[in-house]
Each structure stands twice: as structure tokens, then as C-alpha cells.
């Protein structure tokens, strides 16, 4: 960037909200559907609830073309590396939606196999409770995420903030953001 | 002469099989499963299936829960037809306890089980259409499923993970206007069924993808433990509902559809026919069931009525005992089996006489079918994996436990 | 329930049978381990039994009992519609059982699953890999002495031990203490 | 007794005409266009539009729908819960956290000083409602659990749950 410093403040905020508006209504999603919640994901996407009304209808089955990752269902330790890899393959800006309690916290699968919430592997922007969530809950979650995207500063801070956060986490020894060994993203 | 010219050329071209990883998060594998395919051009030479990407420790969790707490876990086995799992598990524990449930409970279980089967088959058929490019069929089938789920939600309180079965009964009686609601849903379902038939059954593109692909022979099917619609499509008329009637299946009339070639198209037809039969069974049940209690009156297993809990000390003590210690199941083991959406769902249960199960093993039809899947895939084309995998109808939760 | 199948096994393999009973609609025979494939093959091929389908193989871990493990085979005949449960005792020190993968196709994966979950090795199985868990996993989770929450992450993840009480405490400390409404 | 028959499914044989794709295209179009025109019917009653306009039109959940928990109140507006721990014991997800305290009123033995439900762990199975011996916890609020942007927002504490609760009509304590 650089151009934004030349522009008057009013214009940049206008532009910012315009970009936020455009972004929130054109979410290309990658459904990482694993379990029961996938059924409700299908229900949300099909005729009765029709997620297309919110500009989020097209599932992109390539992470590089997607900017919203739905983690739909339980993630276990066997699957965790794949989820992490998909997240890393997605281009910025990207958002993650934890769909259902298993993805959010592990739910009642508190055992050797499951990851206790995907926020231990990747950062999460929105949690949708329910096991599985009703489509109404999903739509509510999507709307909440949309307002978050709208409010997200784009031009001035977004990238700098994220980079700062990452650097801080790495410094603090949090392996959340260190890349997996020997893996190109 | 021409052969002589081409022969050396053939030898010169160096070809080697290509190894392709398909999955675990692949759009066509609606579940998480990974195929390691060895391809010769477009032909699959070898297929190694890897499952377990949804392993959630079902059996370990059950061993650490009371007998009642297992119900939510069984919901999430075959999550398209959770009621069938609920009732299958309840039946297994009831066999171990040697208790009988009232007649109305059996009628309700039959009705709700068949409603669940409708949802299962509609999803399978619809998703199959979607994966072969027939998006409309998917939308119609899901419309039908929504209607079915509306009914389930009315009765159980949840769309998908119902936790409706209880040991010795069900959680609640049917709602009062259930028969009227069913009459409406039934009409819509038949319309959707007819529309799906119109869209798919004679469609040439669909037929070309389905006919003659993923062929299973009866011998192979039996040896690999296939059950349910997949085995019936080969011509073996094994159906637990028919051969070992449980609940009220011995009392109602229905047909068991069987195919003859065992290819994908037969599996599709068998499922479509089973939708009709399920509707027929529900009709008969609703006609013949009579009012009565829905829970067994055995105080060992059924929570006392709320009135008693609120107002009498015996009720209160009994309530607390069941909640804190769990239902006391006598020691022993039993293998109990029912017909679920995908085939025979068996529970091998071992009790050591306490409130927690010592072991619960699920004979999940999906896992066993995945064990023989390479036989259906090998020798076919890469593109045939998609209809084959769909008509097998592997459900992650059930397969990976 | 007739005891025809139990009698059949007892007649032909009297030395192998340790115990048998017929309860709750299940005919069960407890067997010694070594001649199992022979018995199963006989049950499958004999016309009067014709057990052509293997329904399930599983194992039960009776901790602190000798012998510790039991491998359970549920056989079924589609034509005769009868079922027989075979239970084979397996010692903890010599945790192996003979494989029957050559008799039933389904046995291949079922035995892999039992190996994965209980660590019972099957002699002669050509491809005894883990099926539900991953190769790096150590131990066998369904053994009774395997702790329920002992996870083995594949990634070097930030694994927070789940402690619900602690989670609630963290939540509460982050909020200013508020007087309860009704006291 | 039921009559169970085994019947073969009919595999169709395509005619040459059907193999030409044309009749199937027409048939498929007839199905979809009939749906289309039905929904253009000027008489709105006869339309069968299936889509729910959710955020604008709030869905009414059935009576038995299990949604957000609520804590019921006694006549004097205090919480009914007596901190007996039944719900937290039966909860498979272990998502209810209760700390009991002594009440000043001698007719009430205990009451919960802390009652938190982690709605992001709750699996909506409804076992807690069945386990409650005093009609204190219910899930029939007719609302679903709202989504949250932060993990901590999903802890619902006692006062929040009581706001949703109503007066319970269950009579307790015998004929007293």
C-alpha cells in the first residue's frame, strides 16, 4: 500500500467501508465437512435456507480460491495436519468459522482421538454452537462474521496488525503460527 | 506389415502407473476418506482405502458413560438416521436386561425408525445426483429431507441428533397431530419421489454413469460382510426386518426390493423402492397403533414420573439412583442387531453388572463395506469411483466410530 | 433356541471347547485359540451349518483377569438364518490370535481394527496396519489401562489440557465479582 | 401377521428414442418448469415456495425444540435450582458447572452461587432437563443458542439464564 497516506481521511474510511461491504457479501467458502454437521451444512446450502441470499453460496473446493473456511464437524488428531495445511494454503484475507460444538471445543468427545477445538490448530473468527447447529444458527453466525468483516480495518491496519500478532505469538513460543516442517505453503 | 512398424514404437514408450491421492478432504467423498489410487491412464489398478479421519473414540466414550448417556453418542454414529441407531442400542440393552417394552413403544419405534430411513435414503439418492451433476435432484431430495426432519423435530425436539430412544421406551409420545402432519408430508414426499424418478431413472447420462459400474457379486458381498441395500442389490434377500423381525416389523406388510446385477444402478433403484416401502410401513403403523403407555413400568430402568419425583420420597430416591449410578444392567453379553439405513447395525455389549457398560462394540455397516470397497473400484475408471462411493453411502461417523 | 450349533462344535472339536452357553438368543462357545481357523472353516463349509457370513470380530479386555483378552467372532448363516458367537481366549503375554482372513473377506479389516484398538496380533494376516488411528500412535486406546484423555497429537500443537473447572475459573476471574441476585 | 415379499426392482431398458437424450431433456425441463410456474401463480396460497426468509421472518420452533437453556424461578422470583448436581452429573459433555451455597432462608437448603453453562460444549441432548428433580432447568426457551465471536462469550451464567426463565408451575413437596 502507500497510496492511502496521500488520500484524505474521509475518502479512506469510505473506501474502507466499501471494501468491507464488498468482501462480506462475496464470501467464497471452503467447506471442510467431516461429520454430522455436514448434514446441516447441506441443509443450509439447499433450498429451504438458501445461503446464496447472503452471498456465500459457492463452495470452492480449492483452498486457494476460498476465503472463508468452514470447519464443519469433529476434527481429530489424524485429520489435524490436513486442516492446518488447508488453512495455510488459503490466501489472505481469510476467515475461519467453527461450525458446531465439536469444531469449537471438541464437544462431548473428550478423549484421545479428538482435538479439543480447532482454535488449538488455527485461529477462529466465529464459533457456532449447537450439535449440529440449526441452519438459523448458521445464518446468525454468518451475519455475525459479516459484521466483523465489515468492521475490520482494511487499508491501514489489517495486514500490519495480523503480522504483529503473528510475530508476538512466535516470540511467546506459541507454535500456533510456526509453519510445519518441510512444508511449502 | 503395419504391426511390424508399430511394435518397436510401443516398446519405446515408457509408461508407468501413476499414484494419486484422493482425499481426505475431497468434494466427492462426502465424508473424510482417503484413497491411494494406482492409475494406468484412467483405469484404477489398485486402490488402498484409508479411513479413520473421523475417529472420535465412540467405544472409549461409551465405556466411560452410564448406559443412558450413550444415547447421544449413538445419535452421531449414522448421523443421517440417528433414530435407528438409538433404537438399535436400546434394543440391545433391553435384551440384556430381559425387559419388554409396551406395544405402543414398539409402534413408535417402527414409525420413527422408518422416518429416519426415509431421511437416509433421500440423502443418499440426492447426494448421488449432486455428484453426478444433477443438482436439481439434490435440491428436491433435500426438500423431502427437510419435511421429514420437520416431523422428527416435532416429536423429538431436534432435527438431527435426537437422543429420543431410552432404555425401556422412548423419550416422549408422538405429538397429537402427528397423523395429520404425516398425511401432508406423505403427499409431498410422494411428489418428490415421483419427480426424482422423472429426473433420474431414465436419464441417459445418469444411466451411463450408473449401469455396469461398481459391480458387486453376491458371493463377494456375503464374504465381505456387506448388508443392507448394497447386498440386496445383488439379489440376496437378506433383511433383518424380514428374517429376524423386531419391533413391529413382523406385523406389517412390506416388500423387500432386490436387484439382480449388483451395480450402482441397482443400488439406486433398491433405495428408491425402499422409500416407497417405508412410507407404506408408516401408513400401516399409524392405522393400527393404539393409545397406551410408551415406557416400560420397570422402576429399575425408567425414570419415575416427574410428579412422583416432586412429591414422594421414593420417587426422588429412585430418580437420584438412576441419575447418579446409572441403570444397573445384569452381567452378561449380547449381540443384538437391527436393520439400519446402510445395513445391519449390530451392538455387541458386555456388562459387568454396574451402571456403566464394560464394552460396547458397534458392528457398523459402513466400516465393513469400506473394507471391500477396493473390489468395486479396481478395474474401473477413475470417474466411476464417485457413483460407487456414493451408492455405498459411507457415513463417516458410523464408519470411523 | 436350539443348541444345534453348540452341539456341532462340541461334537467335532470336543478338545477345543472350554465353555458353552445359550443365553438371550445368542449361542456362545468359548474356545481355545490355536485351532480356530479350522473350526471356522468347518462351520462355514459344512452344509448343516453354512455360516457364510462373518458379522463381527471384536475383542474384550477383562483387565486383571487371566487370560486377559477375549476375541469374539460372530458368525451368521444367510441361508439357515442362525448365528453363533465364538469367543477365543488370549493371554496378555502372548497377545496373538490366528487370522481367518483367508476364510472371509471381511475379516481383513475387522482384524486390523482389533489390532488397532486392542493390540491383539493376528498370525498370518498379510497387512496388519492401523485402520482407524495413525501410524505414529503408540499403544492401543481401547485397552482398559489406556487413559481416556491421553491424546497423541500428530502436530506439535499447542495442546491445552482440558479442564472445565479451570476454564470456568478463568472466565470468572476475568469478570468483576458480582453479588448474587437472590441472596 | 405381516406379509413380507421379496420383489425384484425393474431395471428399465432404454429405447432408441430415449437414448437420443431428447425425451429426457424435455421430461426434466417439464419437472423444473412446472415448479417454476407453480410459484408464479397469482394466487399466493397455491405457491409452494420452500425457502424461509430467516433473518427477516423469525422461524417458530416447535414446542419440544431444545434450544437455549433457561433457569426457572420460584414464586418469589428466586432461582428454583437447589444445586443437587443431577444435571451436571448426567451431562455427557460435562458443560454445566455448579457451585452450591447455603441459603439464608431455612426452608431452602441450598442454592447455586455459581451456575455456568458452556454453550459451546453443550450438545443439546436434553438429558439435563430429564434429570432435574425440581423443574429448574429447561431448554424450551424457543430460541437457539446464539453464535459468538469469542470463546468466552459462550459461557452463560446464572443471571443470564434466569432472565430467560419464567415462573415454574410445578408443585413440589407433597401436599404441603
Supply the ipTM of this predicted assembly: 0.84
Q: How much is the pLDDT for D173?
A: 53
Partners of residue D110 on adjacent β-strands = D102
B319 Cβ contact partners less than 8 Å away, ≥ 6 residues apart = B303, B304, B309, D86, D133
Q: Do C141 and A115 touch (CB under 8 A)?
A: no
Write down which chains contact chain B via at least 3 CB pairs under 8 A: A, C, D
Nearest beta carbon to residue D31 from set B199, B252, B270: B199
Q: Specify the pairing of strand A68-72 against strand A29-33.
A: parallel
Domain membership of residue B22 (yes or no) is: no
| Cβ contacts of B48 within 8 Å, gap of 6 or more | B35, B36, B37, B374
Residue C48 lies in a domain: yes
Taking the C-alpha atoms of residue D9 and residue A141, their distance in angstroms, rounded to an integer, is 45
Q: Is the pLDDT of residue A46 over 80?
A: yes
pLDDT at A51 over 70: yes
Cis peptide before A93 (omega within 30 of 0): yes
Q: How does pLDDT run across C121-175, given as a tens digit for each residue? A: 888 888 888 888 888 888 888 888 888 887 777 765 444 444 444 555 555 555 4
CA distance D74 to B365: 50
Name which of A112-116, A164-168, C161-165 the model is least confident about.
Answer: C161-165
According to the model, what pLDDT value does residue B396 have? 82
Instruction: Establish whether the linkage from the previous residue to C145 is cis, with ω within 30° of 0.
Output: no
- Reported confidence tier of residue B81, pLDDT bands at 50, 70, 90: confident
Would you say residue B294 has pLDDT above 50?
A: yes
B152 within 8 A of B162, measured Cβ to Cβ: yes
- CA distances C111 to B24, C96, D134, Å, are 23, 11, 49
A122 touches A87 (CB < 8 A): yes
Is the bond into A132 cis (omega within 30 degrees of 0)? yes
All 3 cell numbers of residue A61?
473446493
Sequence-ordered list of residues with C-beta below 8 angstroms from that of B43, at least 6 positions apart, any chain: B379, B380, B381, B382
Give residue-wise pLDDT tens across range A54-90: 888 778 888 888 888 888 888 888 888 888 888 888 8
CB contacts of A105 in chain D (<8 Å) are 118, 120-121, 151
**Which helix H or strand E contains A69, and what residues bound it?**
strand A68-72
Rounded to an integer, the average pLDDT of B343-348 is 89
Number of structural domains (chain B) is 1
Our CA-based measurement puts residue B15 at a distance from the nearest CA of chain D, in whole angstroms, of 37
Nearest chain C residue to D162 by CA: give it.
C181
The alpha-carbon gap from C64 to the nearest alpha carbon of chain B, in Å, equals 13
Residue A3: pLDDT band (50, 70, 90) is: low
Which pLDDT score is estimated for A181? 44
Is B27 part of a structural domain of the chain?
no
Count of CB atoms situated within 10 Å of the CB of C134: 18
CB contact residues (below 8 A), chain D span 151-170, against chain A: 151, 154
Could you say which of A128, A129, A140 has the minimum Cβ distance to residue D122?
A: A129
Of A104-118, B22-36, B158-172, where does mean pLDDT reach its minimum?
Answer: B22-36
Residue A8 has phi, psi (to 5 degrees) of -65, 155
The pLDDT of A82-99, averaged and rounded, is: 83
Domain range for residue C50?
A: 4-154
pLDDT higher than 60, residue B3? no
Q: What is the DSSP letter of C176?
A: P
Residue B197 pLDDT more than 70? yes
The three cell numbers of residue D50 are: 420452500
List the chains bordering chain A where 3 or more Cβ pairs fall under 8 Å. B, C, D
C109, B367 Cβ separation under 8 angstroms: yes
- Does B52 contact chain C (CB < 8 Å)? yes
Label the pairing between strands D110-118 and D96-102: antiparallel
Chain C residue closest in CA terms to D113: C180
Please check whether residue B2 lies inside any domain of the structure.
Answer: no
Taking only residues 60 to 89 of chain A, the set having a beta carbon closer than 8 angstroms to any beta carbon of chain C reads 77-78, 80-81, 84
- Under a CB-based contact definition with an 8 Å cutoff, are residues B224 and B344 in contact? no
Residue D167: which pLDDT band, with cuts at 50, 70 and 90? low
Is residue A20 a contact partner of residue A149, using CB atoms and an 8 Å limit?
yes
For the record, the C-alpha cell of A178 comes out as 510456526
CATH number at residue C130: 3.30.460.80
Q: Which of D86, D126, D173 sits opposite B157 (nearest CB)?
A: D126
Model confidence at B8: pLDDT above 80: no
List B256's β-bridge partners, or say none: D6
Q: Is B320 on the interface with C (CB under 8 A)?
A: no
Measured between alpha carbons, how far is B166 from B102 in angstroms, rounded to an integer?
13
**Angle CA(B363)–CA(B369)–CA(B374) in degrees, nearest 5?**
150
**CB nearest to B397's CB, from A32, A36, A47:** A36
- Which residues are bridge partners to D137 per DSSP? D71
Is it the case that residue C181 has pLDDT exceeding 50? no
Backbone angles phi, psi at C22, to 5 degrees: -130, 110
pLDDT given for residue A32 in this prediction: 86
Higher pLDDT, C168 or D139: D139
Distance CA A129, CA A125 (A): 13
Asked if residue C81 lies in contact with residue B243, where contact means CB atoms within 8 angstroms, the answer is: yes
State residue A23's pLDDT score: 84
Dihedral sign of CA atoms D102, D105, D109, D113 in order: negative
Q: What is the pLDDT of residue C183?
A: 33
Contact B213, B264 (CB under 8 A): yes
Task: Show Cβ contacts of residue B112 under 8 Å, excluding neighbours closer than 6 positions.
Answer: B83, B87, B152, B155, B156, B164, B170
Amino acid C8: pLDDT: 82
Chain C touched by B99 (CB under 8 Å): no
pLDDT of residue C161: 40
Cα angle value B351/B353/B359 (rounded, 5°): 20
Domain range spanning residue B231?
Answer: 50-399
Chain A residues with CB-CB distance to C134 below 8 A: 77-78
Decide if B160 touches D, using CB distance below 8 A: no
Burial A125-162 (b: 16+ CB within 10 A, else e): bbbbbbbbbbbbbbbbbbbbbbeebbebebbeebeeee
Residues A124-163 have pLDDT tens digits of 888 898 888 888 888 889 898 888 888 877 655 556 666 6
User: Where is pLDDT greater, at D46 or B138?
Assistant: B138
Torsion of CA A52, A54, A22, A67, to 10 degrees: -70
pLDDT by residue (tens digit) across B208-234?
Answer: 888 888 888 888 888 888 988 888 888
CATH of D70-164, one of 3.40.50.12640, 3.30.930.10, 3.30.70.3270, 3.40.50.450: 3.30.70.3270
Q: Is residue B14 included in any domain, yes or no?
A: no
Q: Read off the DSSP letter of residue A124.
A: -
For residues D134-147, average pLDDT: 85
Q: Is B60 on the interface with C (CB under 8 A)?
A: yes
- Say what the pLDDT of residue D86 is: 86
Report the SS3 class of residue B100.
coil
HSE toward the beta carbon, residue A103, CA cutoff 13 A: 31
Answer yes or no: is pLDDT of C18 > 70: yes
Provide the CB-side half-sphere exposure for B183 (13 A, CA). 5
- Residues with Cβ within 8 Å of B321's Cβ and at least 6 positions away in sequence, in order, are none
Measured CA to CA, the distance from residue D138 to residue D144 in angstroms comes to: 13
Name the H helices within chain D.
Answer: 16-19, 22-38, 86-90, 127-131, 158-164
Radius of gyration of chain B (CA): 23
From B139's Cα to the closest Cα of chain A, the distance in A is: 6
Q: Mean pLDDT in chain A?
A: 78
Question: What pLDDT was estimated at residue C164?
Answer: 45
Cell of B270: 433398491
User: What is the least distance, in Å, from the CA of D69 to any CA of chain B?
Assistant: 13
Whole-angstrom CA distances from B56 to A72, B400, D167 are: 15, 7, 40
Q: How many domains does chain C have?
A: 1
In a domain, C136, yes or no: yes
CB-CB neighbors (< 8 A) of A113 in chain C: 133, 141, 151
The answer for D117, left when phi > 0, alpha when psi is -120 to 50, beta otherwise, is beta
Residue with cell 458392528: B363
Instruction: Enumerate the residues of chain D whose CB falls inside 8 A of the CB of residue C183.
Output: 101, 103-104, 111, 113
Return the ∠ at Cα A23 (arms to A17 and A28), rounded to 5°.
170
Distance between CA atoms of B179 and B277, rounded to whole angstroms? 18
Using the Cβ of D85 and the Cβ atoms of chain A, whether some distance falls under 8 Å is answered with no
- The reported pLDDT for the residue numbered B50 is 86
pLDDT given for residue A173 in this prediction = 52
Amino acid at each position: 500500500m502507500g497510496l492511502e497516506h496521500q488520500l484524505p481521511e474521509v475518502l479512506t474510511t469510505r473506501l474502507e467501508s466499501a471494501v468491507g461491504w464488498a468482501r462480506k457479501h462475496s464470501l467464497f467458502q471452503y467447506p471442510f465437512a467431516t461429520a454430522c454437521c455436514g448434514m446441516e451444512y447441506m441443509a443450509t446450502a439447499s433450498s429451504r435456507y438458501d445461503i446464496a441470499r447472503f452471498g456465500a453460496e459457492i463452495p470452492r473446493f480449492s483452498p486457494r480460491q476460498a476465503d472463508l473456511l468452514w470447519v464443519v464437524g469433529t476434527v481429530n488428531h489424524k485429520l489435524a495436519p490436513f486442516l492446518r495445511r488447508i488453512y495455510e494454503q488459503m490466501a489472505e484475507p481469510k476467515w475461519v468459522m467453527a461450525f458446531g460444538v465439536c469444531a469449537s471445543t471438541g464437544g462431548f468427545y473428550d478423549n484421545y482421538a479428538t482435538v479439543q477445538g480447532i482454535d488449538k490448530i488455527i485461529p477462529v473468527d466465529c464459533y457456532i454452537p449447537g450439535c449440529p447447529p440449526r441452519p438459523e444458527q448458521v445464518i446468525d453466525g454468518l451475519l455475525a462474521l459479516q459484521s466483523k468483516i465489515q468492521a475490520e480495518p482494511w487499508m491501514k491496519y489489517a495486514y500490519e496488525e495480523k503480522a504483529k500478532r503473528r510475530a508476538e505469538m512466535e516470540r511467546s513460543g506459541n507454535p500456533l503460527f510456526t509453519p510445519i516442517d518441510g512444508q511449502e505453503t | 506389415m503395419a504391426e511390424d512398424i508399430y511394435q518397436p514404437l510401443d516398446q519405446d514408450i515408457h509408461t508407468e502407473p501413476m499414484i494419486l491421492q484422493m482425499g481426505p478432504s475431497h468434494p466427492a467423498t462426502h465424508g473424510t476418506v482417503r484413497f491411494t489410487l494406482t492409475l494406468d491412464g484412467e483405469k484404477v489398478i489398485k486402490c488402498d482405502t484409508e479411513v479413520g479421519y473421523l475417529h472420535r473414540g465412540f467405544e472409549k466414550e461409551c465405556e466411560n458413560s452410564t448406559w443412558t448417556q450413550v444415547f447421544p453418542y449413538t445419535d452421531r454414529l449414522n448421523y443421517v438416521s440417528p433414530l435407528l441407531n438409538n433404537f438399535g442400542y436400546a434394543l440391545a440393552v433391553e435384551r440384556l436386561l430381559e425387559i419388554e417394552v409396551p406395544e405402543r413403544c414398539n409402534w413408535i419405534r417402527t414409525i420413527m425408525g422408518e422416518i429416519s430411513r426415509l431421511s437416509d435414503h433421500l440423502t443418499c439418492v440426492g447426494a448421488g445426483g449432486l455428484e453426478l451433476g444433477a443438482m436439481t435432484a439434490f435440491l428436491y431430495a433435500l426438500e423431502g429431507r427437510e419435511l421429514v426432519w420437520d416431523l422428527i423435530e416435532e416429536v423429538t425436539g431436534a432435527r438431527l441428533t435426537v437422543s429420543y430412544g431410552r432404555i425401556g421406551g422412548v423419550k416422549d409420545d408422538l405429538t397429537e397431530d402427528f397423523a395429520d402432519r404425516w398425511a401432508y408430508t406423505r403427499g409431498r414426499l410422494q411428489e418428490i419421489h415421483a419427480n426424482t424418478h422423472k429426473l433420474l431413472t431414465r436419464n441417459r447420462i445418469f444411466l451411463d454413469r450408473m449401469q455396469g459400474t461398481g459391480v458387486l457379486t453376491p458371493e463377494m458381498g456375503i464374504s465381505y460382510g456387506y448388508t443392507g441395500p448394497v447386498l440386496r442389490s445383488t439379489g440376496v434377500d437378506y433383511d433383518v426386518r424380514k428374517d429376524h423381525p423386531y419391533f413391529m416389523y413382523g406385523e406389517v406388510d412390506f416388500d423387500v426390493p432386490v436387484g439382480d446385477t449388483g451395480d450402482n444402478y441397482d443400488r439406486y433403484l433398491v433405495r428408491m423402492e425402499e422409500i416407497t416401502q417405508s412410507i407404506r410401513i408408516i401408513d400401516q403403523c399409524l392405522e393400527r397403533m393404539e393409545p397406551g403407555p410408551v415406557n416400560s413400568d420397570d422402576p429399575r430402568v425408567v425414570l419415575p414420573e416427574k410428579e412422583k419425583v416432586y412429591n414422594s420420597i421414593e420417587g426422588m430416591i429412585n430418580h437420584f439412583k438412576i441419575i447418579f449410578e446409572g441403570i444397573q444392567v445384569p452381567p452378561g453379553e449380547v449381540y443384538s442387531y437391527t436393520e439400519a439405513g446402510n445395513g445391519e447395525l449390530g451392538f455387541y455389549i458386555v456388562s459387568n453388572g454396574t451402571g456403566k457398560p464394560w464394552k460396547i462394540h458397534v458392528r457398523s455397516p459402513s466400516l465393513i463395506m469400506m473394507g471391500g470397497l477396493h473390489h468395486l473400484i479396481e478395474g474401473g475408471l477413475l470417474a466411476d469411483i464417485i457413483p460407487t462411493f456414493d451408492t455405498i453411502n459411507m457415513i463417516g461417523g458410523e464408519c470411523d466410530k | 433356541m436350539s443348541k444345534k450349533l453348540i452341539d456341532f462344535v462340541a461334537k467335532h472339536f470336543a478338545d477345543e471347547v472350554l465353555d458353552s452357553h445359550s443365553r438371550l438368543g445368542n449361542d456362545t462357545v468359548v474356545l481355545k485359540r490355536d485351532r480356530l481357523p479350522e473350526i471356522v472353516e468347518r462351520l462355514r463349509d459344512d452344509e448343516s451349518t453354512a455360516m457364510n457370513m462373518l458379522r463381527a470380530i471384536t475383542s474384550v479386555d477383562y483387565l486383571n483377569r487371566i487370560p486377559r483378552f477375549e476375541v469374539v467372532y460372530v458368525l451368521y448363516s444367510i441361508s439357515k438364518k442362525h448365528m453363533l458367537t465364538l469367543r477365543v481366549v488370549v493371554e496378555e503375554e502372548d497377545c496373538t490370535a490366528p487370522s481367518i482372513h483367508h476364510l472371509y473377506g471381511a475379516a481383513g479389516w475387522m482384524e486390523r481394527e482389533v489390532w488397532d484398538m486392542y493390540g491383539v496380533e493376528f498370525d498370518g494376516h498379510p497387512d496388519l496396519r492401523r485402520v482407524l488411528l495413525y501410524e505414529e500412535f503408540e499403544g492401543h486406546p481401547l485397552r482398559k489401562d489406556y487413559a481416556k484423555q491421553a491424546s497423541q497429537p500428530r502436530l506439535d500443537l499447542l495442546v491445552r489440557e482440558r479442564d472445565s473447572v479451570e476454564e470456568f475459573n478463568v472466565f470468572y476471574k476475568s469478570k468483576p465479582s458480582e453479588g448474587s441476585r437472590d441472596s | 401377521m405381516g406379509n413380507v415379499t421379496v420383489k425384484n426392482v425393474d431395471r428399465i431398458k432404454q429405447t432408441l428414442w430415449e437414448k437420443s437424450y431428447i425425451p429426457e431433456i424435455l421430461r426434466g425441463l417439464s419437472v423444473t418448469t412446472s415448479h417454476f410456474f407453480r410459484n408464479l401463480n397469482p394466487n399466493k396460497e397455491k405457491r409452494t415456495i420452500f425457502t424461509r426468509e430467516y433473518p427477516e421472518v423469525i422461524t417458530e420452533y416447535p414446542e419440544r425444540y431444545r434450544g437455549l437453556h433457561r433457569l426457572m424461578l420460584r414464586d418469589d422470583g428466586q432461582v428454583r435450582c437447589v444445586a443437587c448436581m443431577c444435571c451436571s452429573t448426567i451431562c455427557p459433555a460435562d458443560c454445566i458447572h455448579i457451585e452450591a451455597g447455603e441459603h439464608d432462608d431455612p426452608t431452602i437448603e441450598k442454592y447455586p452461587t455459581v451456575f455456568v453453562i458452556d454453550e459451546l460444549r453443550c450438545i443439546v441432548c436434553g438429558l439435563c432437563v430429564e434429570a432435574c428433580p425440581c423443574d429448574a432447568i429447561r431448554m424450551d426457551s424457543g430460541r437457539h443458542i446464539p453464535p459468538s465471536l469469542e470463546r468466552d462469550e459462550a459461557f452463560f451464567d446464572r443471571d443470564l439464564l434466569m432472565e430467560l426463565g419464567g415462573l415454574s408451575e410445578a408443585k413440589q413437596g407433597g401436599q404441603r
